[in-house]
Amino acid sequence: MAEAAGAAVAPAKLGLYSYWRSSCSHRVRIALNLKGLEYEYKAVNLLKGEHSDPEFMKVNPMKFVPALVDGDAVIGDSYAIALYLEDKYPEHPLLPQDLKMKALNLQIASIVCSGIQPLHNLTVLVRTDLHSISYCHRFIEKKVGTGESIPWTQQQIDRGFAAAENLVKGCAGKYATGDEVRLADVFLAPQIYAAVTRFQINMLNYPTLARLHEEYMKHPAFQAALPDRQPDAPSST
């Protein structure tokens, strides 16, 4: 049936290109859940190299997940996506009004997305459980030797976590920068989850981050974004 003139047209559903285990995709899933936004999950299997498919490269020429599609907007970076969602969808603000707290949230997000995660990205690291997979970017393994890539990665995560622990320990409430979930939490949660489940980081060194991890694991928006809950996770097939 034709739309009546002037009738509101339902906005197209958002689409998220994601890989279940990708911590960058995990951040965006949390932000979408917090803001109550439904989205279509578009799985991109990094281990099969689907991020290098010419069709996907039209979505993100960097060949990375995540990428968000919102109507004619296509955004291929979790930081940019988070800020876009914040501007466009005001429900559950991720950035506080207070300028110092806002800057702190941006700083912590940046520590995670430029100071930690890129150093354990697939293009840098070969995980021991990926050895059976023909993967061309064995950069760190070639540099530091077989079996040394995980300790090397642990050093990088420890450096970032020491900084983050220092920054949040004075101002954390229930969450990283107070009693509301903010951008810092959206970025910290997947990084701490990866540190605990994949990189055997000793969280006793980071008591505030360890406590935050427990809070995140209890929060429905964070629970629904967990890697194992995603449609492309091995356990969910």
The binding site for ligand GSH (CB under 6 A) comprises 22-24, 46, 51, 64-66, 77-79, 113, 121-123
CB of 32 to ligand GSH, least distance (A): 14
Radius of gyration of the chain (CA): 18
Tell the smallest beta-carbon distance from residue 156 to ligand GSH (Å).
Answer: 14
The nearer residue to ligand GSH, 83 or 168, going by C-beta atoms, is 83
Reference 71, options 17, 15, 18, 30; nearest CA is 15
Question: Residue 107, class by beta-carbon neighbours within 10 Å (0-12 exposed, 13-18 middle, 19+ buried)?
Answer: middle
Q: Quote the least distance from Cβ 67 to ligand GSH, whole Å.
A: 8
Q: Are strands 73-75 and 67-70 parallel, antiparallel or unpaired?
A: antiparallel
Tokens in use for 150?
A: 């995980």
Considering beta carbons, is residue 137 or 174 the nearer one to ligand GSH? 137
Q: Can you tell me the distance from the alpha carbon of 208 to that of 227, in angstroms, rounded to the nearest whole number?
A: 23
- Bridge partners of residue 17, in order along the sequence: 42, 67
Q: Order of strands across the sheet with 67-70? A: 39-43, 14-18, 67-70, 73-75
Shortest CB 44 distance to ligand GSH, Å: 8
10 Å CB burial of residue 12 (0-12, 13-18, 19+) is exposed
We find the least distance from the C-beta atom of residue 217 to ligand GSH, in angstroms, to be: 20
> Which among 221, 213, 117 has a CA at the least distance from the CA of 165?
213
Least distance between ligand GSH and beta carbon 7 (Å) = 37
